[in-house]
Amino acid sequence: MKDVLSVQEAPATKAKDDKMRDLFEQVAPSYDSVTAIVSLGMDRRWRKKAVGYLAKMMGQPRQGPRSKPQQEPREILDACCGTGELTFLLAGAFPEAALTGIDFSDAMIMRAKHKMLRAGEKRGVQPARIKFLQADMNGLPFADRRFDLITVAFGLRNSVCCQQSLAELRRVLRPGGVLSVLDCVTPRRSLANSICRCYYHNWVPFVGSLVRSRHQYAHLPDSIEKFGDPDDVTRLLRETGFTDVALQPIFRDIICHFIAT
């Protein structure tokens, strides 16, 4: 019975994945501008804060009398990289690392490549250190235990199967490596939750309608509610095999940074 169910669910899962991919293909041209407006200009600050924490953490010694200093990552994977904003920040924070940015949207990858060629040197980034590939994190085209650091910013909650995505990310993460998840979550407090629901259901679709269409941004509140609160995300990471999970609030408990090993 289990095998029959998995076969029956596969087409439905693929249909959801295709629908989400098509959505991001359509919003790619306006993604950066809409994100900046929706976040009131704070999205870049949130990314910089998370990257700054990672840079500080991965340069500090581990705990214990025989511990060696944590080496800076040599290979970094930025999953759901979108137009490459986090990828470029990581390149600046870890100047010796090789970076790979992946996204399931070809339009997003094309914009990331264009930004790298147009403004890479201005950002202090050497284009030769960065590769952008179209790939789905539910089926990563990489060998096991390849990356020292894996980041996912504002993308995990859009996965059609978060458990499968995390299992794949864990597969390509080397032992002792770090997974960083930066995302919107459901606030624990009821008042903050009510305010966020009103904001996501009204302001976000309205801004989206000014540049594209309202329905293309209507998925945001649903994806956040399904993702859950900080405790739900921490539990999800542990259930997927990550044993050490730390939480860094970036903007109260609305934007959170989860660090897992």
65 in a structural domain: no
79 in a structural domain: yes
Q: What is the CATH number of the domain that holds 169?
A: 3.40.50.150
User: To the nearest whole percent, how much of the chain has pLDDT over 90?
Assistant: 58
Quote the pLDDT of residue 124.
Answer: 66
User: To the nearest whole percent, how much of the chain has pLDDT over 70?
Assistant: 85
**Mean pLDDT score of the chain, rounded to an integer?**
86
Cβ neighbours of residue 86 under 8 Å, at least 6 residues apart?
Answer: 47, 50, 51, 78, 151, 153, 182
Angle, nearest 10°, between helix axes 219-227 and 190-198?
Answer: 160
pLDDT in tens, 3-27: 333 334 456 577 778 888 988 898 8
Question: Which range has the worst mean pLDDT, 58-62, 73-77, 225-229?
Answer: 58-62
pLDDT in tens, 81-96: 999 999 999 999 999 9
Q: Check pLDDT > 60 for residue 65.
A: no
Domain of 161 in residue numbering reads as 2-60+70-260
19 in a structural domain: yes
83 in a structural domain: yes
Q: What is the DSSP letter of 72?
A: P
Exposure class string for 13-33: b at 16+ Cβ within 10 A, else e:
eeeebeebbebbeebbebbbe
Quote the pLDDT of residue 169.
Answer: 99
Number of domains in the chain: 1
Question: Which range has the worst mean pLDDT, 69-73, 97-101, 174-178?
Answer: 69-73
CB 222, CB 231: distance < 8 Å: no
Extract the tokens encoding 65. Answer: 């009398």
Give mean pLDDT, residues 156-170. 96
